[in-house]
Amino acid sequence: MTPFDTNAREGRMQDRQPPVPGGQRELPENLIYGRNPVLEALKSGRDIEKILMARGEIAGSLKEIMARARDRKIVVQQIDRSRLDQIVDHHQGVAAYVSAASYSTVEEILAYAREKDEPPFIVVLDGITDPQNVGAIARTALCAGAHGMIVAARRASGLTPAAVKTSAGAFEYLKTAKVTNIARTLDELKNQGLWVFGAAMSGQDYTKTDFTGPAALVIGAEGEGISRLVLEKCDHIVSIPLFGPLDSLNASCAAAVLLYEVVRARGQA
Instruction: Give CA separation, 246 vs 138, 198, 222, 238, 256, in Å.
Output: 25, 21, 15, 19, 18
Q: What is the mean pLDDT of the chain?
A: 88
Give pLDDT, residue 23. Answer: 43
46 or 137, which is more confident: 137
Residue 233 has pLDDT above 50, yes or no: yes
Give pLDDT, residue 52. Answer: 95
Amino acid at 121: F
Q: For residues 109-123, give the mean pLDDT.
A: 97
Question: Which residue ranges form the domains of the chain, and what is each CATH number?
Answer: 31-98 (3.30.1330.30), 106-265 (3.40.1280.10)
Give pLDDT, residue 71. Answer: 93
Give pLDDT, residue 12. Answer: 35
Residue 21 has pLDDT above 90, yes or no: no
Residue 19 has pLDDT above 70, yes or no: no
User: How confident is the model over 1-13, as pLDDT tens digits?
Assistant: 444 343 333 333 3
> Rounded to whole angstroms, how far apart are CA atoms 15 and 204?
40
pLDDT > 70: what percent of the chain? 90
Q: For residues 76-94, give the mean pLDDT.
A: 92
User: How confident is the model over 150-204, as pLDDT tens digits?
Assistant: 999 988 898 999 999 999 999 999 999 999 999 999 999 999 999 999 999 889 9
CB atoms within 10 A of CB 235: 13
Query: Of 96-110, 123-137, 243-257, which gets the smallest average pLDDT?
Result: 243-257
